[in-house]
Amino acid sequence: MAQAASKVEDKLYLNRYLVDAGRAHIKVRPHTKPSPQLLSLLKLCPAHCYEMNSTGQVEIATDGCVECGTCRVIAEPSGDIEWNYPRGGYGVLFKFG
Ligand code: SF4
């Protein structure tokens, strides 16, 4: 019998994170109106780290970041974000094999 495919959200839930408090490894450049690149991250980040705030700017909460680099490819060249790996020992710990 075929096994049901698991959702990405289910697999992400298995990960563990060590948050480096006060040292976010990705920063969004301050802006008044988000660029198309920033807006695309609202849908493209697999961990849903990017959100629109109540005044229309894109913000990031890096706590659940899986370091896939998608946002780096899309928004770092335009200067919309600053992307670095977390310090050693911090960040995602993959648990699904
Ligand atoms: S590196 Fe991947 S998971 Fe982390 S914020 Fe960027 S798109 Fe999301």
Predicted confidence pLDDT, tens digits, the chain (97 residues): 556 677 878 888 888 889 999 999 999 999 999 999 999 999 999 999 999 999 999 999 998 999 999 999 999 999 999 999 999 989 998 887 5
The two structure tokens encoding residue 10: 């289910």
Using alpha carbons, select from 38, 44, 75 the residue that is nearest to residue 58. 38
Residue ranges of domains in the chain, CATH in brackets: 24-93 (3.30.70.20)
**Secondary structure of the chain: what % helix, strand, coil (to 5)?**
25, 20, 55
Q: What's the pLDDT at 97?
A: 55
Shortest-distance Cα residue to atom 2 of ligand 1: 68
Which residues share a beta bridge with 27? 82
d(CA 51, CA 80) in angstroms, rounded, equals: 14
Distance 71 CA to ligand 1 centre (A): 6
What's the pTM value of the predicted model, to 2 decimals? 0.86
Asked if residue 81 has its Cβ within 6 Å of ligand 1, the reply is no
